[in-house]
Structures are given as C-alpha cells and as structure tokens.
Chain A
Amino acid sequence: MSVTELESAEIQFDHPSGLWSDAWRRLVRNPAAILGFVLVGLFVFTALFAGLIAPYDPREQNLELLQGSCCPGPSAEHWFGVDDLGRDQFSRVVYGARFSLLIGVVAVTVGVTFGLLLGAISGFLGGKTDTLIMRLMDIMLSIPGLLMAIGIAAMLGPGLLSIMIAIGVVNIPIFARLLRGSVLGQKGNDFVLAARAVGVPRRTILVSHILPNSISPVIVAGTLALATAIIDAAGLGFLGLGPQDPSTPEWGTMLTGTVRYLQTAPHLAIIPGLAIVISVLGFNLIGDGLREALDPKLRGRT
C-alpha cells in the first residue's frame, strides 16, 4: 500500500460518506419526507401526464348536465362532479396541476437565479456593492410578499406570465439574503484562504469553492418557496390576476366563481382547494426533511 492509498483510506474512515449521501440517508429515514416525496411525485406525475389521466377535455362544456341549477356532485361518470358550466371537475383539477407546477417552477427559477446572482456578488465583493444591493433587497422585503406580487401582476397586466414574474420577483430578496449570509460564512474558511494564497482567480474561487458549499440552505428554501409559489399563484388567480380566459383550468381561477355556489355545490371550492393543499403539503414536507438532513449541526448523528 502506498502512502497515498493509506491516506485516502484514512480520510474515508474519518468521513465515511459525503455531505450529499449522508443527507440522502437521513432523508429516506424520515417518514414525513417520504410522504412529501409521494405527494410531490403524484403531483408531478399528474402534471406531466395530464393528457393521459384526464377522461375529458377540461374546457368542454356540457350545460345539459346542470339541469337548471348548480351543480351535480360526484358520480360514476364525473368523479369530482361537474362545475357551473358542466365541465368535468376531475379533468380540470388534473390539468390544473400542470399550471401550478409550471408557475411554481418558473417563478422559483426566476427568484433563485437572480437571487443567487445578487447574493453571491454582494457577499463576495462586500463594501459599497454589498450595501447597495442589500438595502435594495431590504426595501423589497419590507413590502408584504403577496401585496408586492399583486402590484407587479397588476402593473404587467393580468395573465399567466405576469403571475410567474411577479412571484419570481418577490422571491429574489429571500434568496439573495440567504446566499449572501452563506457566502460570508464560507469566505473566511481555510480552503478559501488557501485557494487565494495559491493565486486562484476570484471568480473561480466563488464559482468552484464558495458556491457549492453555500448551496444547501438554498435548496431547502427553494423547495419551500415552491410551496409558497403555488399558494401565491392560486391567490393571484383567485383575485382575477391569473389567466384572463376564465375557462383556464388553473386552481386559483377555478376557485374564483365558486363563492356564489358554496351552499348548493361546495365541491366546486373544496376539490381545487384540496389539490392546492396536497401539493403544497408535499413540498413543505420535503423542504422540512431536507432542512433537517442538511443541517450541519445534525450531521453525523445518524
């Protein structure tokens, strides 16, 4: 055995697993996180294969089903009943998953991308740049999230795209601050000093050494932000800032007109509501599981 081999064996002994595999093991032993994965899996599966799952066209009206009132509840043909225009509620909820997933992913991507950029620059450069960016983020954070989203969506004009942008923008300061804190923490570490000492360019230090080590809180926050984004999207849709075509099977939009029929057809509100709850719960459970799994203080306690 060569010295190198011996050393590496020693290292393996000290660190029997890497950060990620360690976290993974912790995660799969957490029943709540497993449930989260199942719910999110169900949600993503439904969204991807909506066309195969849904028995009807979500926009196809069938006014004869209403029989002069509103609205027949669950039956063998229509598992979740029909809505106030005789459209199959099950198919609409299934297609709605697609919109929620799309809005959630795009909005969080927007938030994470710009947040990472601003946070990393701010944390790494420090000084006046840091002050400027962070005060800007503070201003954005001082406005309640949903309120700011409403403002942005109203300014851009209602629609799917503006909802995504609005929620994304609201997420920017959250990620920027998170990453800045993380970068600041890493900046003083020995391996960063070492890299500097040997003359590694600053950009490379940031991208190859600091960022990979600062990313875990962002993953946790990102998962939780997905859940919030779905709720916010539904909220904006409910307020009429979502897709302008009211026949769009978006969960929030579906809830808009149901208040009028709460007494006679509560399923119109309950079912899209449940869909929102289930998907949000899934992301929240995963997010919490990840937080526990990635928490350095808990590391090694398995």
Chain B
Amino acid sequence: MVAALGFTALAAALAAGCGGGDGDTLTFGTASDPVVLDGALVSDGESLRVIDQMFETLVGLEAGTTKIVPELAESWVASDDGLEWTFTLQDGVTFHDGEPFNAEAVCFNFDRWYNFSGPLQNSSVSYYWQTVFRGYAENEDETLDPSLYESCTAQDELTAVIRITEPSSAFLGALALVNFGIASPKALTDYEADAGTVDEEAGVFQPTGTYGTEQPTGTGPFKFDSWERNDKLTLVRNDDYWGEKAKLGTLIFRPIPDNAARLQALQTGEIQGYDLVEPQDIETIEADDSLQILDRPAFNVGYVTINQAQPPMDNLLVRQAVAHGLDRQAVVDNFYAGRGEVAHQFMPPLVEGYADQVTEYEYDPARSRQLLQQAGLTLPVAIEFWYPTEVSRPYMPDPRRNFEAFAASLNESGFRVTARNAPWNPDYLGRQQNGTAGHLNLIGWTGDYGDPDNFVGTFFQSQQPAWGTNEFPNREIMDLLNRAERETDIAARTALYQEANQKIADWIPGVPYVHTSPALAFQANVTGYTPSPVSLEEFASVEFTEGGEEE
C-alpha cells in the first residue's frame, strides 16, 4: 500500500517535471523515429504520422472515415472521359515559410514526383507514387509500367488541371494519402529535398540536403520546430493556419520501441498517448481510471489462404468443408479482447463495395465431414497447415494460438492437420507468396487507403501463386475487378465490387475470419482525437479537458 502510494506520487512528480500534460503540450509515444519528414520519400507509418500534422493534401478524409472531403482543393471536377481533373484551390493559404500556396505550387510538387530519378525511383522510397501512379517520366527499371500521371497545368492562380493517361477510379481517393502532401517549392529547392542516396538493404532514403530533416515546409496546422534523433521530435502550432487553428501549442513525438515501456511511460505520465496497444494490455489500461482506450475502426482482414495447387484443395467441395470446419466465431470471441468481428468478405465493412449479402459458412463439423465424403475422400483428410512465428499483427496478435484453435476445429471436421511453421520474415512471407506454404496458411492484410482496389484488387486482380496457380483467380472474378478499377461512376463501381465479393465468397479461394479494431491508449483527460481507419489522425483538434493540469 505504501509502495503504491509512493509510486503514484513519483508518477505525478515525473509528469510535472516533464512538462507533459500541462494543457498546452502533448507528448505521444511512437514505436520508432521517423525516417525522413518528406511524404514523397517514405512509406512507414511513424514518418507519415508526423508528416500528416505539417502537410495537407488536395483532398482529405473526413475524420474517422475514408470519405473524401475537400482539403487544399475547395472543389474538383473530372472530364467526361475521366482523364482531366480540374481542382479549384483554397484561397489565402500560405506555406510555413510565408510562400503563397497556389496552382503553380501544386504542379511543382506533382512534377517533382513524376520526374524522380535514380535512388528516388527505388520501390521502397517512392512506394506510394508507384502504387498509385505506377511509373515516372523516365522509368529506369524496365518492370515499371508507364505512368498514370500525364501533366499538371496551372490554369490560373487557383486552378490546377491534372491529366492522367487512363481512367482510374482509385485516383482521387489516393490523393488523400499523406505522401501526396503539397510542400513549399522554395523550401524543396533551397534545402535540396531530392539530394541523397538509398540504403539498398533497408530501402531507406538518406538525404544529404536538410529539407527532410530540418526544413519540412507545408501548410498544415502544426509546423516543424526541432528533431533530436531517437529522442524527441517537436512541432509547434502554426498561428497563421488558414483553417481552424490547432488547440495544442506544442506536440512532441517520442520514440519508445518497447511495447511494455510505452505502457509504463503512459502510466507514469511521461507520455499522454500511444499507438499499437497490445491486446493483452487493454484490460490493464481500461481498469485504470486515469487512462482510456480508443478504437480504430476495423480496416484489416485476417484470413486463411487455401492453396488450390495442393490437391484436394482444387475441389470446391473440399474448400467448402474447410470453410465449415473453421470455428471462426470462437477464435474471434476469445482471442481479440472484444475488438474483433467475424469476417465473411475479403474487405472490412466500411470500404465501398462491401456486399450486403454473401454466402456465409457457419462452423459445422458434421457438414464438413459430409462434404468431404461427397467429394469422394476417405476421412480423415491429411492436410498441411502453416502459421508464422515471431510476429504479431493487429489481425493476428498471436498466430500460434489462432492456428491451434483452427487445427482443433478442423480435426473435428474430418481433416487431420499437420502443423508447420516458419519465422515471419523472410521465410514465412516468402513461402506464403510463392505458394509453398501447405494446403492452408494464416495471413492477413491492413489497408493503405480507403478503396476496395486496395483489398480485393490486391488479392485477386492478377494471378498469384499464393492461391495456387491451377484454376484461380478464375477469369470471371478477375474481369469483374478489372472493369471495376476502370469504372469512374461510383455507383456502378460499387456494384461491380459487390458482385466480385459475392463471387469470391462462393468460390472460396480462402476463408476470411476476422476484422479487428486496433487500439490506441491515452490519458483520460485527452479529448478530440478521432481514430482513423487508415491511421491518418489529426492532432489539431486534440486538447486536454478541464482539470487536465491536475494529475
């Protein structure tokens, strides 16, 4: 009891000493230090989290959703053929260095990305440009496709016209990615944003200029103050912000790689919030009155891959037996600390194109055995089932545990499961991707941006060895997805994706089983933080409630 009191007193003293939680400064615990503060050159979440506070994109997402809303562009219109997009820009916006934001600045940024060369074309460095726009003005790697981007013209001060080479329904949504934040052309040039080399092994850009480390210059509600590598990164309020100004005066990001240490830092008040809470810590945090848990909407899917190249998985009856033989409800109810829901489709419900109704497969061991006999097999049917070790993902916090529960339910259902495992990276991922990970294996996916193409498109639009190369993806589903990607009419597109989802559920290339809500933890007096499905969260609206000073 005495020890507990002493500890609380110490925690309070620490909190006061750090100046954290004083109502104007918030310290956020991150898993790692950002790589470089230039959205065009990074793809990791910890860099993007910081960049998102300083930069703005043409279009944004409504807080907590993947709905596209105006940001730096007040409005936009696409030509009938879907190739020409005209953006009308916000008036009266200035960059942090005092330079005016206008159509020329927008085009300067797009042309910069399009003309990337040398190390900047490395697929890890400009990953998102490649994902969305495929190629560059001059592709240095033959495997790159021709660019989707064609040109950008500043029609007048506040009108930018962007031309693309073929209709793409994913284009507008992708512009909301932090990676396409508009930076001050003067700062980019003066501080040599593009100068640097690439660490081939880690795929990380190492700048020789100072732009990405000392001079990131955007239009956002916070501006850069200082960065002590691996210690803390400080942003301050942009008092000249064109929209509603940030409530916090100072925002500090502090890297604390160890999960348990992050939890402790929150408990002692050294930080006021952190991301990537482990499921087993949630109970501890919820039991503490001075802390709170925030849920990020489910934007992922965990699934069991069925490899059709491995007989008898090429038989639809056997795949149905697998689907009926996995006790998904029990796994989701018991292993996800109440933060999972059973999945029936390969995309989370909040993504456009989620079908209202697909064939669902309830856990039914008797039905599974019957299906296997119907397929002419003698029970039990021996199968190999792989799971990864040394990894934790929101959709599978402990893969071994998911595996063991599934193996037990499959063994009930007429199968005889042989367990196989490998370390996640590179062994397991390699095997999973080239289709050498048994009849069944555990895997999953977290979305990058709010588009169905980022889920089912990634999985089924092209031939992939993971599903077995014999029959799948069957033409029908591939064609549907290709048509959907080119369709610019939203309603028609949604209908196509819904149809694809129904077909996929009938064809059972794999069995989706969970969508989870990853958790964030904050001090109880922090308000205004709206978790976003794609992890783009604004700190501008965050503040401490009354009495925030009292710890």
Contact = CB atoms under 8 A, between A and B. Distances in A.
Interface stretch (A36-44, A58-66, A109-117, A176-184): A58-66
A84 B418 CA distance: 20
A63 B283 contact: no
Interface residues of A, number: 23
Interface in A248-289: 256-257, 260-261, 263-264
Contacts of A69: 280, 283, 337
A85 interface: yes
Contact of A257 (B283, B401, B419, B420): B401
Say what secondary structure dominates the interface of chain B.
helix
A68 B280 contact: no
Interface string A60-92: 010110111110000000000000111000000
B404 interface: yes
Given A244-B421, A260-B398, 15 more contacts: A59-B408, A61-B408, A63-B331, A66-B334, A67-B334, A84-B398, A85-B405, A86-B334, A240-B389, A246-B400, A246-B404, A247-B407, A256-B400, A257-B398, A263-B284
A190 interface: no
A290 B403 CA distance: 46
Given A68-B338, A240-B389, A63 B405 contact: yes
A245 interface: yes
Nearest to B417: A245
13 contacts: A63-B331, A63-B405, A68-B334, A68-B336, A240-B421, A244-B420, A245-B419, A246-B400, A247-B404, A247-B407, A260-B397, A263-B260, A264-B283
B342 to A, nearest CB: 14
A256 B284 CA distance: 23
A268 to B, nearest CB: 12
Interface string B403-431: 11101100000000011110000000000
Interface string B315-347: 000000000000000110111111000000000
Contacts of B330: 63
Interface of B: 260, 278, 280-281, 283-284, 330-331, 333-338, 389, 392, 397-398, 400-401, 403-405, 407-408, 418-421
Nearest to A87: B404
B338 A61 contact: no
Contacts, number: 63
Contact of A85 (B281, B284, B404, B418): B404
A84 B334 CA distance: 10
Contacts of A263: 260, 280-281, 284
Contacts of A68: 333-334, 336-338
**A-B residue pairs, 4 tightest by C-beta:** A63-B334, A245-B419, A66-B334, A63-B330
Contacts of B278: 260
A70 B405 CA distance: 14
A59 B407 CA distance: 11
Contacts of B408: 59, 61, 85, 247
Contacts of B331: 63
A260 B260 CA distance: 11
B16 to A, nearest CB: 27
Contacts of A63: 330-331, 333-334, 405
Contacts of B401: 84-85, 257
Contacts of A260: 278, 280, 392, 397-398
A245 B398 CA distance: 16
Nearest to A247: B404
A3 B407 CA distance: 78
A277 B364 CA distance: 43
Contacts of A246: 400, 403-404, 419, 421
A40 B289 CA distance: 49
A154 to B, nearest CB: 13
A197 to B, nearest CB: 63
B334 A261 contact: no
A220 B108 CA distance: 81
A114 B405 CA distance: 42
Given A63-B330, A84-B398, A246-B403, A70 B421 contact: no
Contacts of B419: 244-247
Nearest to B282: A69
A84 B402 CA distance: 10
Contacts of A70: 280
Nearest to B336: A68
Contacts of A61: 404-405, 408
B503 to A, nearest CB: 32
Contacts of A240: 389, 421
Contact of B280 (A64, A244, A264): A264
Contacts of B404: 61, 85, 246-247
B339 to A, nearest CB: 9
Nearest to A256: B400
Contacts of B418: 244-245
Interface in A224-249: 240, 244-247
A69 B404 CA distance: 16
A257 B334 CA distance: 17
B400 A257 contact: yes
A68 B405 CA distance: 14
